[in-house]
Amino acid sequence: MAKIECIYCGDLFEGSPRHKNQTCCRRKECQNAKKAAWQRYKLMTDPEYRANQHSSQKKWCQEHPDYWKQYRENHPEKAERNRILQIIRNRRARSKDGISKKDTALIAKMDASKPDKFEIVGQFWMVPVIAKMDASKINIIRIPECYP
Ligand SMILES: [Zn+2]
């Protein structure tokens, strides 16, 4: 049987004769990515699934009222990242053509400088617009003139 290239990790794997149109290998990371992609698709296309997910998440949040507050306190970087990504999501939702010119304006200086050996003169998030990837935080630093 011909080997199949996994769409997540790119490795070649032996496809099962019982499953046609296989696209994903058996690695746990790839199976998780496949499941997450299925859930994203289902949330976009199935209003009933979306409503069920929403109500079960709401119920869980009511049972664990301090979870997200604690999470944000313990992960200030993640909270900042989410704040920025939410601004982008809000702008996308407002713009009818998906990617608006406002999104490009978000790739801009975010913070004032912080004192350090290498002075940070600005920060921004690189946010992939097309591919499903994580955003990356970029620090712009001033290199002292004496630095070799
Ligand atoms: Zn894989």
Cα of 108 from ligand 1 centre, angstroms:
35
Cα of 28 from ligand 1 centre, angstroms:
8
Per-position DSSP letters for 1-52, written without gaps between them: --EEE-TTT--EEEPPTTSTT----S-HHHHHHHHHHHHHHHHHH-HHHHHH
pTM of the model as a whole? 0.49
pLDDT tens digits, one per residue of 110-132:
554 444 456 677 777 777 776 66
The yes-or-no verdict on residue 11 having pLDDT over 80 is yes
Cα of 12 from ligand 1 centre, angstroms:
8
Q: Yes or no: say if 72 and 86 are a contact pair by the CB < 8 Å rule.
A: no
Residue 114 DSSP label: B
Cα of 41 from ligand 1 centre, angstroms:
19
Q: How many CB atoms lie within 10 A of CB 24?
A: 17
